[in-house]
Chain A
Amino acid sequence: MNEPDEPSFRWRPLSYLLVAFAAVLFAGGVAGRNPVPIIAAFPLLLTPLVAPILGVRRNPRVAVTGQVEGAGGVIDVVFRLTPEAPVSPGDLRVQVPVPPGIDERAPPRASLEGGRLEVRLAWSVPQPTVASVPLPEVRWEDPIGLIERPVEVSGEPLAIERYPPELHRAGIVRLEHTIALPGETRSRAIGATGEFFGIREAVWQDPPRVINWLASARAGRRLANEYSLDRTGDVLILIDARPTALGPSMDTRLLGIARAAAYGLADAFLQEKTRVGLGVYGEFLSFLPLATGRTHRLRIHQMLFETSLAAVAGPAERCGVALRRYYARAMTTIVLSSLADDESMLLVPHLRRRGFHPVVLSPSFLPLAALTSDLSPEDEAVVGRVGRLLRREQIARTWQDAPAIDWTDFWSLGGFVDFLNRPTLRERGV
């Protein structure tokens, strides 16, 4: 039974057009005492009227399954729609919103496979991004396009996760000691650092240093070392989601890149059983407390999918004060901020003042600005040079309070991971 507020079917504009022309033909026939226009008007008038009688009687249901295919920045999203009988899959109209940060590579392709409709979307991901692809909006139309009904869609939304592969190694970073117990704190968890525990089959994410090459040579297959984790610290990932002087479009794209980095970092640290907290600062702080495990990973994913640019920028001090309420001091804090204006650069000193140890990973606006620029090559070169000087000055000012990594090649974070692993060498200029 239809719910009272459930939208029902409606006639499409073509129906009104046919009825209008039928009326014109009737009028022409009567005025000219000619039966031909009247007879010709009959099909145009009757077809819209019988369309709801011959069509489906209530809003149809469609089961949707989907998957994301492809690698790197080239992806294919495939949705398969199976309507309930007697709806023909050919009568379904599908609309899929393109998530922000993703471009359409080619027009969508649809094909009929048995009793289901397959829609293939060719997208490209120019920069790292994480996005949730919602279920498609589907409506049923009669074959002539005279009436339409909304379709009840059931299924799970898809997730697109594209971030630099080096982030898989970020989790093995030895974190600052933030646990109350002095010295080494053994954990029952198994990971990639700590005391040797045993040997296991290697998986594709294992870096070469974890592979036990001698054992692999003897066994004839890749084996990796396992270690008893010594839990020393936790990590807090903080995303600066405040609007900056760059404008909403650029801010949204930079925030998308920061979300992707946070997604990869959280996954990498959680893989090593590290407790991870997540904060998103817009006008106010949204946060997830320190935790680990699969449920926490899902919570982090959900929060990152829902993160968007704030309408109003909160003061930097508010972020420091709010963070201190929920997280312990001296915690390793990875700040993802564009550092695009003075207010965003103020965030780091305030975090330092509240006792956090921030490391700033700053996605640069320069590569994005170059992509969207319509200047001549000469002007572009001058603007690029000035932009690089400005950016260098911003990074240098941030370095007075905390290490800051200028992230320009968005598909590589090897330098950042190396820095997390060997910060002392980097401080000495190595």
Chain B
Amino acid sequence: MTGAPPGPPRLPRVLGWPLLLLAVVLAGFGTLGTLPLVTALAVAFAAVALGALLRLLPRRSLRPLAPVAPLVGLTVLAVYAVPTGVTALYGGVAALVLLIWLADDPERLPGGSARAVNRLLIPTVGLGIAWASAFLLPGGVAPLGAGIALLVVVVALAALLLRSPEVFDRDAAASS
């Protein structure tokens, strides 16, 4: 079985601007955390480099593992981040940049990042609402608990929907 596409050469595709942007954003995120600067930068750059390396591997079966490395890097840096509004916003932006990097998969045609922008609008709005709710509204213990409960519900809902994809199947209109 032969697959298509890739089009242009693979190395320039892997080393494109989304990778550089991800490296810069993750490194910047690392500097805002409690980890020592060298460790934070090492985590950021190692995660990005490993992700790029996995995308360059000749064995196709290992290439889908490429997103794991930047995701682990983002998780480590987020857990050790200083709990401030700016850092939280930066973390959310880093996650969005990670999604843009995912869209720039060299297994697909070039231009995936541009096509993915409109798919990121709702997550960006959601991120903004969550950030504003957490840091701009006056809060206390009760809203925090409500927020956690809401998050648990959202995660449970996500798990439920992932198990039954037919929920999203739409029938065509009778008039079409």
Contact = CB atoms under 8 A, between A and B. Distances in A.
Interface residues of A, number: 71
Interface stretch (A21-29, A241-249, A348-356, A413-421): A21-29
Majority DSSP secondary structure for residues of B touching A: helix
Interface centre among A24, A52, A145 (most CB of B within 10 A): A145
Interface in A111-140: 111-112, 117, 119, 121
Contacts of A26: 151, 155
Interface of A: 1-2, 8-11, 13-19, 21-26, 28-30, 32-54, 57-58, 88, 90-91, 93-98, 104, 107-112, 117, 119, 121, 141-145
Contact of B75 (A21, A46, A88, A111): A21
B123 interface: yes
A145 B154 contact: no
A96 B89 CA distance: 44
Given A8-B165, A9-B168, A94-B5, A47 B91 contact: no
14 contacts: A18-B71, A25-B78, A37-B78, A37-B91, A41-B95, A42-B95, A42-B130, A43-B120, A48-B162, A50-B122, A91-B115, A142-B116, A143-B103, A144-B102
Interface string B68-99: 10010011001101111001110110111011
The 8 A-B pairs of least Cβ separation, nearest first, read A110-B5, A40-B91, A52-B168, A143-B116, A143-B115, A108-B4, A36-B81, A46-B123
Contact of A37 (B79, B115, B158): B79
Interface residues of B, number: 65
B64 A39 contact: no
A42 B127 contact: yes
Contacts of B154: 45
Nearest to A56: B170
Given A40-B92, A45-B154, A10 B75 contact: no
Contact of B102 (A10, A52, A145): A145
Contacts of A44: 71, 95, 98-99
A40 B127 CA distance: 8
